[in-house]
Every structure is written in structure tokens, then in C-alpha cells.
Chains A and B, each alone.
Chain A
């Protein structure tokens, strides 16, 4: 069966450092991979989308890589700030307009 795995343990880093979160998947050939941010009791907020034929995508302090051979995506936040503290969700889809399958999320804590 399809599996999407994110590190369930919280990631604690110091302000100013780069946070790197991992998303691994098995039994899946996604066309798209998306990263969302979720704060407690709130809905997921879209951050970045990367397509299967793209290796890397950047947006301000965020960077996503997508390795379809390793079946892995890495999500980086550079110059992290306490306001970046949240749970980050990886989500995959087979095609545009199709359902998203989410990982369990990784909680990031950025300490001042």
C-alpha cells in the first residue's frame, strides 16, 4: 500500500539555523508533491508545489527538492525564525485535480 513518511519526532533548532524536513514515500509515483504548514487547530496552508520533472523549487527562505529515484523530498527553511514553528505536512497527488495523500507531518520548534 502507499506510504508517506515524515519524521514524527519534533525537530528543535536554534533561530537563524536551517531547518531540513524529510518526506519519504513508497508504492507511489506522484506527479506533484506539495508542502503545507499547519498550526494547531487550523487548516493546512499551502507553501510550495514541485512537479515530478522538477528537481528543486525555491520561494523566499523556503526550498524544496524532489528526488523521484530516492522517492524523497527535502524541505528547507533557511534563517529560521520562532514564527516558523509549526507542523509541516508533505502531500502527494497523482494528477492535477486529484486527491492529496498526506504524511503525518513533522513539528518544527525554532528557539530564540
Chain B
């Protein structure tokens, strides 16, 4: 069964450094998302992406964040200058089309900012 994959599974970085989290959505899906979950807290929406542009973003998704689909398969989240409070699990998700709306999540990348 097709799955969303994410790399790396765990990323440790120093505060102020840039990180890029990578995702490979399910191949025929058209909508892509990033969510994050701080330890012990709710899953929170960051951004959605469709047709090579951001379609929706939350207040969390400020100028430090950016997303890109650099080729036909990858979908990336970049954090330009990481802060301690960016430490969280970051989940990528994808959905097939507007009619189904089921979002399938990847296993997550655990980001630790020191």
C-alpha cells in the first residue's frame, strides 16, 4: 500500500541553524501538508500546498518557514533559523483530491533544537 515517507526520522540541530525536512507524498496525490506536534500537545496545522503554491497557512508558519516541491516527488519544509521552540515532531501529509479529503500522514521527523 502506498505510504507517505519522511526523512530524516530524527534531526538534531543548533539554534539558529537552517534545517530542511523532506517528504515524499503518495504518488498520485495533489494536496500536500505539513503539521507539527510538540511533545504532549495537539497536532497543529502549518501549511497546505496545491498546484505549486501555498493554499493555506497558520499563524505558526511565519517568515522563518518555507515549503517547496523541488521535483515531481519531493515536498520539503525549510526552517531558516531554528529556535528552541521549534523542537517538535513534524508530519507531512497528502491527499488525493478535493472530493476525498482523507489526509494520509507520514511517520514524522523528530526535530530537536539545542
**Which of A's residues lie within 8 Å of B, judged by CB?**
32, 34, 36, 38, 41-46, 49, 89, 91, 93, 95-105
Interface size of B in residues (CB-CB distance below 8 Å) = 30
- The 4 A-B residue pairs whose C-beta atoms are closest, nearest first, are A96-B101, A43-B105, A99-B45, A96-B98
Q: B12 contacts the other chain (Cβ, under 8 Å)?
A: no
* Contact (Cβ within 8 A) B48 A44: no
* Contact (Cβ within 8 A) B105 A49: no
A91 to B101, CA, bound (A): 12
* Contact (Cβ within 8 A) B99 A96: yes
Q: B58 contacts the other chain (Cβ, under 8 Å)?
A: yes
* Contact (Cβ within 8 A) B42 A45: no
| Shortest distance from the beta carbon of A27 to any chain B beta carbon, whole Å | 16
Q: A102-B42, A102-B43, A104-B42 are in contact. Are A97 and B101 (CB under 8 A)?
A: yes
Q: B25 contacts the other chain (Cβ, under 8 Å)?
A: no
Partner of B58, one of A36, A45, A99: A99
A91 to B4, CA, bound (A): 19
Partner of A44, one of B41, B91, B110: B91
* Contact (Cβ within 8 A) B42 A49: no
